[in-house]
Structure 1
């Protein structure tokens, strides 16, 4: 049994201990909170007390951005592996200071789950299989900042080198019918800002970032993902490619979702296939989990396996830091209306 403790008690922390409850071989042994309270797991007011009594194998941080670096450093000083929520530090100076403090320890992973979501995992599998040739451009319009950068870098196979960023913002009226709290019951358009950026990774590889305020929850904006390659293109759940001379093939990624109509097996994701080949299979059948929950469960299991020494690091601090560095460059380029080029950092 591998155990972990969560630092924090907000909605994100709650998701970690709730999902862990459905994972055999993994257990949340406590939460570190600022003040005592009733929780589904034991509560501790300090990491030292938690370590002394519960002896977790690793720590998950789920605290506000400014607090994350100090929690990471304290855990590493105690020799504990860490899975840090995104981003690992608020700004570029904080990322550099954090790396200087703990980078060489090899004990820090970042809880970047987007590439582990079933749809994205299936798309990534199709790209890795070479179905569209060499990926050259990724366009993401669905999520913000470091999450979008992670998708772009991951699908491109881009490393941690310099990135040249251009960005612009515009504001236009948009109805915002849904937030994390549910339906707003507000039919009136409100000003919503859209940020569009181009990312040049060099060697013919590029990304396009397109995000509108609250796009995670606002279903009046389609989520879009495009991967362009040397021999074809993947657009959302559709793929076109040149399979042989004078032969273009158009295929669809098909999700088998149980629980519809007369399917009495219960609502669940089963597989995602392309032309009869399974690109993704849900590792947690019967849990009835959302894609986000499946991704977090996959990340927790991968982290536990890494802590046990039986699997590679799931998402090292170097990658999480690079994602946020590029995200910060997007914001800076949009703020200043100037091209921003990131440097090769110590984690590069």
Structure 2
């Protein structure tokens, strides 16, 4: 599939790495950048394929355009692609305000646009394992989730998927807190911790009409900081998962306990090379890495991105959706309402939006 790439930042670079790893499935056929200096830099990576004129970029007729632009900037560019019938994959979040979210949906409806959003979190192996357990009924009826693993719209995506709340409205309360923490790791990598920064922690409750509750708790440093780890607790009436530990009701009516373990290669004198083959619970395979047999050594995040790109390819070819625009709009809407609840210091009741199908 010929991919037009709009944007060349940190996130775009990850997508390029994954597409290269997937081999002949994908070709970055054109790259759009906003400045001449960016064009000169990217020409080294994509000789003869870099454009500063967006119309010329679209004129190359890619099979889809992947937008990796800054927060809230993609819509006017995506509209032009939709108008020309070119499928769109937009990085999260698609917009920065409720009005912009509505404009995205209106543009899709106006042009009958083919739009998906690169919300990859639920494709990560751990979440896929949890989804498998839920689908099995191993935990019974899910009632609540305490998630401290992903920020804002990513957290909303995981919360809605694991709770199974779909487009349901909810009541939201939220607060933010500032705490000092030593800074020693970020996108630039691990380094000496020579300064203390202020890390803002956001806590919120999402109460749904059927009694399900999502407890959200996240601080920006949790992705990289060794002193701010991530955690998750998922509870049903017949079981619980807390991080890697699980407990559920066995067939004999008695509780069973176990741990979700990674089947890792390349350790303890194993010479197969480093990689993850599967996730198991007491020997049962909950998740099998679809790229392990292809000898692709990908991180969990790269696996999720690969699944997103292959899902986009299927969408372009068949129309089967990988992550619909409407789902991403709802994720972002809930995150915006959470921020409003924290800012206003009062409970927010969400409302049906134009993208909710009746």
Q: TM-score range by the shorter chain?
A: over 0.9
Matched, 1:308 2:317: yes
Q: Within 1, Cα distance between the matches of 2:236 and 2:223? A: 27
1:6 is displaced (CA, Å) by: 0.8
Q: Partner residue of 2:73?
A: 67
1:17 is displaced (CA, Å) by: 2.0
Matched, 1:31 2:31: yes
Q: Within 1, Cα distance between the matches of 2:21 and 2:251? A: 46
Q: Unpaired segments of 5 or more residues in structure 1?
A: none
Indicate which of 42, 47, 50 corresponds to 1:43.
50
Q: Partner residue of 1:298?
A: 307
Q: Within 1, Cα distance between the matches of 2:333 and 2:87? A: 23
1:171 is displaced (CA, Å) by: 1.7
The 3-state SS of whatever aligns with 1:175 is strand
The answer as to whether partners of 1:26 and 1:301 remain within 8 angstroms in 2 is no
The answer as to whether partners of 1:103 and 1:317 remain within 8 angstroms in 2 is no
Q: Partner residue of 2:198?
A: 191
The 3-state SS of whatever aligns with 1:197 is strand
Matched, 1:81 2:87: yes
Matched, 1:57 2:56: no
The 3-state SS of whatever aligns with 1:190 is strand
Matched, 1:207 2:214: yes
What TM-score comes out, normalization by structure 2 length?
Answer: 0.92
The answer as to whether partners of 1:85 and 1:110 remain within 8 angstroms in 2 is yes
The 3-state SS of whatever aligns with 2:165 is coil
The 3-state SS of whatever aligns with 1:64 is coil
Indicate which of 344, 349, 352 corresponds to 1:341.
349
The 3-state SS of whatever aligns with 2:127 is helix
The 3-state SS of whatever aligns with 1:186 is strand
Q: Within 2, Cα distance between the matches of 1:271 and 1:60? A: 29
Q: Within 1, Cα distance between the matches of 2:59 and 2:99? A: 33
Q: Within 2, Cα distance between the matches of 1:195 and 1:8? A: 29
The answer as to whether partners of 2:245 and 2:258 remain within 8 angstroms in 1 is yes
Q: Within 1, Cα distance between the matches of 2:192 and 2:65? A: 39
Indicate which of 318, 324, 337 corresponds to 1:329.
337
Q: Within 1, Cα distance between the matches of 2:98 and 2:284? A: 42
Structure 1 residues 103 and 259: alpha-carbon distance in aligned structure 2, compared to 1, 3 A threshold: farther
Q: Partner residue of 1:139?
A: 146
Q: Within 1, Cα distance between the matches of 2:10 and 2:180? A: 30
The answer as to whether partners of 1:103 and 1:347 remain within 8 angstroms in 2 is no
Structure 1 residues 241 and 100: alpha-carbon distance in aligned structure 2, compared to 1, 3 A threshold: same
Q: CA RMSD in A?
A: 1.6
Matched, 1:20 2:19: yes
The answer as to whether partners of 2:177 and 2:202 remain within 8 angstroms in 1 is yes
What TM-score comes out, normalization by structure 1 length?
Answer: 0.95
Matched, 1:172 2:179: yes
1:188 is displaced (CA, Å) by: 4.4
Q: Unpaired segments of 5 or more residues in structure 2?
A: none
Q: Within 1, Cα distance between the matches of 2:335 and 2:162? A: 16
Q: Partner residue of 1:288?
A: 297
Structure 1 residues 207 and 103: alpha-carbon distance in aligned structure 2, compared to 1, 3 A threshold: farther
